[in-house]
C-alpha cells in the first residue's frame, strides 16, 4: 500500500496514526468513519443527494400541495427502484438487512429506525421533525421498497414524525421479482 502511494512504510504509518489521533480528538471512532463513508457511498449509489433538511421537507410539502397524486407516484416509484436495487445487490443474502443498509442514508436524522423480522417485517421510524405530509409520502416510498422485495403491507400507520409498517412475505413473489430484475 505504501509503495502504491510512493511512500515509505514509516511515512504511511505516521500519516495513518496522525489521522486516527485526529479522529479520536474529535470523539470519532474509526468504525464511525467507515460507517459514515459506506452510508454516503450507498446514498450516491441509490441516487440521493444531501439537501438541508428544512429545504427538503418544505419542497416536498409544496410538491404534495401542488400535485398530490404525482408526488405520491414519484415517492412510490423511488421506493420501487430502491427495492429492485436491493434485490439486485443482495445476491440471496438477508434482504431486510440489505434494505436497512440502503435506507440508512435516508433515515440518518431519525431518532429511531428499525426493520425487524423475516417472514413478517415490522418497520418503525421515529423523527419528530417530519411534517405530516412528508411522513405520508415517505411511508409510501418505504411501503413500495419493501413490496418490491416480496412483502405485502398488512398495516400502515403514519402520523407527524412516526411511521409504523407491518408486512408479511408474499409466497413466491421475491423469486418472481428477482427473475424480473435479472432478466
Is 4 contained in some domain? no
* Predicted local confidence at residue 45, as pLDDT: 80
Beta 112-116 vs 151-159: how paired, if at all?
unpaired
SS3 of the chain: CCCCCCCCHHHHHHHHHHHHHHHHHCCCCHHHHHHHHHHHHHHHHCCCCCCCHHHHHHHHHHHHHHCHHHHHHHHHHHHHHHHHHHHHHHCCCCHHHHHHHHHHHHCCCCCEEEEECCCEEEEEEECCCCCHHHHHHHHHHHHHHHHCCCEEEEEEEEECCEEEEEEEECCCHHHHHHHHHHC
Most confident of 19-33, 56-70, 84-98: 56-70
**Same domain as 78, residue 21:** no
* Predicted local confidence at residue 94, as pLDDT: 77
> Given pLDDT bands bounded at 50, 70 and 90, which one contains residue 177?
low
Identify which has the larger pLDDT, 176 or 73: 73
What global pTM score does this model have? 0.76
**Same domain as 70, residue 157:** yes
**Same domain as 107, residue 29:** no
Is 27 contained in some domain? yes
**Same domain as 141, residue 59:** yes
Structural domain count, the chain: 2
**Same domain as 166, residue 82:** yes
CATH of the domain at 115: 3.30.1380
Is 102 contained in some domain? yes
Identify which has the larger pLDDT, 24 or 180: 24
Torsion from C-alpha of 121, 137, 75, 180, nearest 10 degrees = 20
pLDDT in tens, 55-79: 888 999 999 999 999 999 999 999 9
pLDDT in tens, 30-47: 888 888 888 778 777 877
Whether 145 and 80 have beta carbons less than 8 Å apart is answered as yes
How many angstroms separate the CA atoms of 85 and 60, rounded?
23
Is 1 contained in some domain? no
* Predicted local confidence at residue 178, as pLDDT: 55
> Given pLDDT bands bounded at 50, 70 and 90, which one contains residue 23?
confident
Is 174 contained in some domain? yes
How many angstroms separate the CA atoms of 78 and 140, rounded?
9
**Same domain as 154, residue 136:** yes
Is 54 contained in some domain? yes
**Same domain as 158, residue 144:** yes
* Predicted local confidence at residue 174, as pLDDT: 55
**Same domain as 90, residue 59:** yes
**Same domain as 16, residue 60:** no
Is 66 contained in some domain? yes
Residue-range definition of the domain harbouring residue 35? 9-43
**Same domain as 101, residue 29:** no
**107-121 mean pLDDT:** 89
Is 164 contained in some domain? yes
Amino acid at each position: 500500500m505504501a509503495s502504491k502511494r510512493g511512500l515509505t512504510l514509516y511515512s504511511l504509518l505516521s500519516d495513518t496514526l496522525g489521522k486516527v489521533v485526529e479522529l479520536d480528538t474529535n470523539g470519532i471512532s474509526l468504525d464511525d468513519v467507515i460507517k459514515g463513508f459506506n452510508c454516503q457511498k450507498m446514498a450516491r449509489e441509490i441516487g440521493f443527494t444531501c439537501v438541508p433538511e428544512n429545504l427538503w421537507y418544505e419542497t416536498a410539502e409544496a410538491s404534495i400541495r401542488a400535485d398530490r397524486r404525482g408526488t405520491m407516484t414519484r415517492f412510490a416509484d423511488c421506493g420501487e427502484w430502491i427495492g429492485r436495487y436491493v434485490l439486485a445487490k443482495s445476491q440471496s443474502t438477508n434482504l431486510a438487512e440489505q434494505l436497512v443498509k440502503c435506507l440508512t442514508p435516508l433515515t440518518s436524522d431519525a431518532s429511531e429506525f428499525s426493520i425487524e423480522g423475516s417472514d413478517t417485517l415490522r418497520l418503525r421510524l421515529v423523527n419528530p421533525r417530519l411534517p405530516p405530509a412528508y411522513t405520508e409520502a415517505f411511508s409510501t416510498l418505504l411501503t413500495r421498497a419493501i413490496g418490491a422485495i416480496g412483502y405485502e403491507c398488512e398495516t400502515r400507520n403514519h402520523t407527524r414524525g412516526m411511521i409504523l409498517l407491518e408486512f408479511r412475505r408474499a409466497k413466491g413473489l421475491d423469486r418472481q421479482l428477482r427473475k424480473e430484475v435479472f432478466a
